[in-house]
């Protein structure tokens, strides 16, 4: 039964890693992201098959148990995720504001243009 659980966990880790690798951003961020995801996948697979290694590493680092180390890593990962998501949304908001302003300026009525000229250029009669 243990081997079945291990295989399911490995498949889940590999599946999520592949999904996360397929993203879009600039080349530098994507390279760093892919390296980190691959390191996570290797560490996750090793910790599934050899849980004592994780506990030994946790003791070396100064954390009592391997599960505590995993919890701390998840907290740090969550904070990094929240930070990058916040930066991405701020960037999108800035872009959306610029686009909205550009569209508003392009579609604004220009008082120096006559209404007849505007209708003739658009094909309306």
The reply to whether 118 falls in a domain is no
Ranges of H-type helices in the chain: 2-21, 27-49, 51-61, 66-107, 115-122
14-27: per-residue pLDDT in tens? 776 666 666 556 67
Domain residues for 71? 2-108
Q: How many domains does the chain have?
A: 1
Q: What's the CA gap between 88 and 85, in Å, rounded?
A: 5
The reply to whether 124 falls in a domain is no
Residue 57 corresponds to which tokens in the numbers above?
């590493």
Give pTM, 2 decimals.
Answer: 0.57
37-79: per-residue pLDDT in tens? 788 888 888 888 888 988 998 888 787 888 888 888 788 777 7
Q: Cβ of 35: how many Cβ atoms within 10 Å? A: 10
């Amino acid at each position: 039964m243990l081997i079945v659980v291990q295989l399911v966990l490995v498949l889940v880790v590999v599946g999520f890693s592949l999904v996360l690798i397929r993203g879009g951003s600039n080349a530098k961020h994507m390279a760093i992201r892919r390296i980190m995801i691959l390191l996570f996948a290797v560490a996750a697979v090793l910790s599934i098959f050899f849980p004592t290694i994780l506990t030994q590493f946790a003791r070396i680092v100064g954390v009592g148990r391997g599960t505590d180390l995993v919890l701390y890593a998840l907290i740090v990962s969550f904070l990094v995720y929240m930070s990058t998501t916040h930066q991405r949304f701020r960037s999108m908001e800035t872009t959306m504001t610029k686009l909205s302003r550009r569209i508003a300026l392009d579609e604004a009525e220009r008082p120096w243009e006559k209404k007849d000229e505007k209708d003739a250029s658009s094909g309306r009669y």
